[in-house]
Structure 1
Amino acid sequence: MSYHIDKDGYYGIFGGAYIPEMLYPNVEELKQNYFQIMEDPSFQEEFHQLLRDYVGRPSPLYFAKRLSEHYGTKIYLKREDLNHTGAHKINNTIGQILVAKRLGKKRIIAETGAGQHGVATATVCALMGIECVVYMGEIDIARQAPNVARMKMLGATVIPATSGSKTLKDATNEAIRDWINNPVDTHYIIGSVVGPHPYPDMVARFQSIISEETKKQLLEKEGRENPNYVMACVGGGSNAAGAYYHYLEDVDVKLIAVEAAGHGIDSGESAATSVLGHEGIIHGSKTLLMQTPDGQITEPYSISAGLDYPGVGPLHAHLHQSGRAEFISITDEEAMKAGMELCQLEGIIPAIESAHALAALNKKTFKPNDIVVLCLSGRGDKDLETYINYFNL
């Protein structure tokens, strides 16, 4: 079985491009050109130069000694939190802005939940001198105020999404509407491995730098490229896709995807798509989706603004259905405790998204010599207010 995309844009039965006719030219233009552009040596040179000199890659693979002792195994943290802008999102926005430039686009739009993708998009637009519009749910604007300020400082226009749950799904809807109205000069930088083909594949390829580096770094530190486990949080799933990418076909490497259970899987306030989801279509692709029996999207919930998405990317839907990845659901409470544990054991304040992945360490039994690579997808600066309120700091 293959875990990579097929020629029609599917992972197994998931993926595709389910789009309004108005968007067909945009998506088709991208589909016809993205791979050729990405394979061009001059593109690769510019992309890797910016990753090195601007983003600060390679990000360290850090042996977390005290965390490892606590869990009785060897835990390495892939430090995406140390990237410029504080998360893995910049890997993809650098790649997509270079693609957009080669396609002659003059305006960029994006959606954001936690604000990290919005900040990363605003950052690369400032870098390249291109107009930037970011759609963000009204609720997320309130709970991620520092990131909203950053986007504005970087010259972006932030437009609130005021419909539905006023979070990530609604911001995505607004961005797609904008794209339909501005098809010729605008490129939509989607922030995760979601959306119509070719986005899930394109974003995964840009994020695959994570596992590419991990293999080299692990070889250096442990004398082997492959860990026993790779763990990452999954909302749409771009950091997980990047952390898994070069291990997808190595079935000896166990993949663990960690979702947000919110107040509990059966609480009605959750974002555990792998448990609660059914096949459906959202934002242009067929995937697993939380929905009512008549197909209305169920409002997701998580304390983490980056994980409250009602679906997962089609790659992750395929990894779940095929059994290639194990999905674990983590509650708000478990994630917050795990975030605090990392602070006090390793002196690293993680994003609450990443804290969900850390909490899954409690759900598995590891052997002392197992090597566990956990993608620390972002840093916790943006979540300080949530930490403060939760723990009454």
Structure 2
Amino acid sequence: MSYHVNEKGYYGDFGGAYIPEMLYPNVEELRRNYLQIINDESFKKEFELLLKDYVGRPSPLYHARRLSERYGATIYLKREDLNHTGAHKINNAIGQIMVAERLGKKRIIAETGAGQHGVATATVCALRGLECVVYMGEIDIKRQAPNVARMKMMGATVVPATSGSKTLKDATNEAMRDWINNPVDTHYIIGSAVGPHPYPDMVARFQSIISEETRWQLKEKTGKETADYVLACVGGGSNAIGMFYHFLDDEDVKLIAVEAAGLGVDSGESAATTVLGKEGVLHGSRSILMQTPDGQVVEPYSISAGLDYPGIGPQHAHLFKSKRASYVSATDDEAMQAGLLLTRLEGIIPAIESSHALAHLEKMSFKGGETVVVCLSGRGDKDLDTYIRYFGL
């Protein structure tokens, strides 16, 4: 079975481009050109150089010894939190902005939830001298104030989304409206592995650097390129698809994606898409999403601004349905405790998104000797207020 996109833009039953007629020229221009652009030798050379000298890649694969002792396995953390801007999002932002430049676009728009994708986009726009507009839910603007300040310092315009739940879904809607109104000079950077084809494939390719590095780093440390388990948090799913990408065809590697259960899967305040969702269309692709019986999108909830998305990317939907990867969930409480535990054991404050992946370690049982890689997708600076309030620090 193939776990990658086919020539029609589908992963099994999922994917495609379900878009209004007015967006068709923009998406079609991308679809026709993206592979040729990113496979060009000069593109690859420049992209790799920026990842090395600007982002600081390769990100370390860190053996978390005290965490390993606690759980009885050899646990490695893929340190995406050490990238410039503090998360994995910069990998995709650089790649897509380079594609946009080669398509002659001078204006970049983006949506953001936790703010990390917005910061990454604003950062690369500053680097390349491009106009940048970031749409962000009004609620997220309040809970991620440091990231909003960073974007503004970089010269980006931050536009609040004031409709619906005032979070990521609504920011995405606003960004798509902007793109419809400005089709010629504007490129819309989607920050997650969602949206119409070719976005999920493009994002996955740019983020696949995570698992590409992990393979040779594992070989250096263990003598073997694969791990027994690979874990990542998943909202829309960009860090997870990057972490899984180069292990998809190694069937002996167990892939575990951890969604946000919020206050509990059945609480009505959750973002556990694979448990609560059904197949349908969201933001331009067929996937699995949380919806009412008559097809209205259900508002998700998570303490983590980056995971409260009502769907998952189409490649994840395919991995879930084909059972190639396990999709599980962690509650707010479980994630917060896991974040504090890592901080106390290893001196690393993780983003609350990443803490969801760490939380699943509590539910695993190891015989001893297993190798586990957890994608530490971002650092916790942006979440300090939430941690402080939660723990009364």
TM-score under structure 1 normalisation?
Answer: 1.00
> What is the distance in 2 between the residues matched to 1:294 and 1:80?
40
SS in 2 for 1:213: helix
Q: Match of 1:121?
A: 121
Q: Match of 1:2?
A: 2
SS in 2 for 1:311: coil
* Structure-to-structure mapping, 1:28-43, within 5 angstroms: 28-43=28-43
Q: Which runs of 5+ in 1 are unaligned?
A: none
Correspondence 1:341 to 2:323 = no
Count, aligned residues: 393
> What is the distance in 2 between the residues matched to 1:141 and 1:60?
31
SS in 1 for 2:295: coil
Q: Match of 1:258?
A: 258
> What is the distance in 1 between the residues matched to 2:383 and 2:287?
29
Deviations 1:310-333 (CA, angstroms, capped at 9, x unpaired):
000001111111101111110000
> What is the distance in 2 between the residues matched to 1:106 and 1:81?
29
Correspondence 1:207 to 2:238 = no
Q: In structure 2, what residue type is equivalent to 1:130?
A: L
Q: Match of 1:96?
A: 96
Structure 1 runs of 4+ aligned residues shifted over 2 Å read: none
Q: In structure 2, what residue type is equivalent to 1:36?
A: Q
Correspondence 1:362 to 2:359 = no
* Structure-to-structure mapping, 1:15-164, within 5 angstroms: 15-164=15-164
SS in 1 for 2:172: helix
Q: Match of 2:269?
A: 269
Q: In structure 2, what residue type is equivalent to 1:90?
A: I
SS in 2 for 1:372: strand
> What is the distance in 2 between the residues matched to 1:42 and 1:62?
32
> What is the distance in 2 between the residues matched to 1:249 and 1:197?
22
> What is the distance in 2 between the residues matched to 1:178 and 1:367?
53
CA-atom RMSD in angstroms: 0.4
> What is the distance in 2 between the residues matched to 1:296 and 1:365?
39
Q: Match of 1:194?
A: 194
> What is the distance in 2 between the residues matched to 1:232 and 1:329?
11
> What is the distance in 1 between the residues matched to 2:252 and 2:117?
32
Q: In structure 2, what residue type is equivalent to 1:160?
A: P
Deviations 1:122-157 (CA, angstroms, capped at 9, x unpaired):
000000000000000000000000000000000000
Q: Measure how far apart 1:367 and its partner are.
A: 2.5
> What is the distance in 1 between the residues matched to 2:348 and 2:5?
35
> What is the distance in 2 between the residues matched to 1:316 and 1:369?
29
Q: Match of 2:332?
A: 332
SS in 1 for 2:338: helix
Q: Match of 1:229?
A: 229
Deviations 1:1-56 (CA, angstroms, capped at 9, x unpaired):
11000110111000000000000000000000000000000000000000000000
SS in 2 for 1:241: helix
> What is the distance in 1 between the residues matched to 2:95 and 2:16?
22
Identity of aligned residues (%): 78
> What is the distance in 1 between the residues matched to 2:327 and 2:321?
10
SS in 1 for 2:388: helix
Deviations 1:329-355 (CA, angstroms, capped at 9, x unpaired):
100000000000000000000000000
SS in 2 for 1:256: strand
> What is the distance in 1 between the residues matched to 2:303 and 2:131?
31
> What is the distance in 1 between the residues matched to 2:105 and 2:287?
29
* Structure-to-structure mapping, 1:155-174, within 5 angstroms: 155-174=155-174
TM-score under structure 2 normalisation?
Answer: 1.00
Q: In structure 1, what residue type is equivalent to 2:100?
A: A
> What is the distance in 1 between the residues matched to 2:357 and 2:87?
15
SS in 1 for 2:320: helix
Q: Match of 1:315?
A: 315
SS in 2 for 1:374: strand
> What is the distance in 2 between the residues matched to 1:130 and 1:59?
27
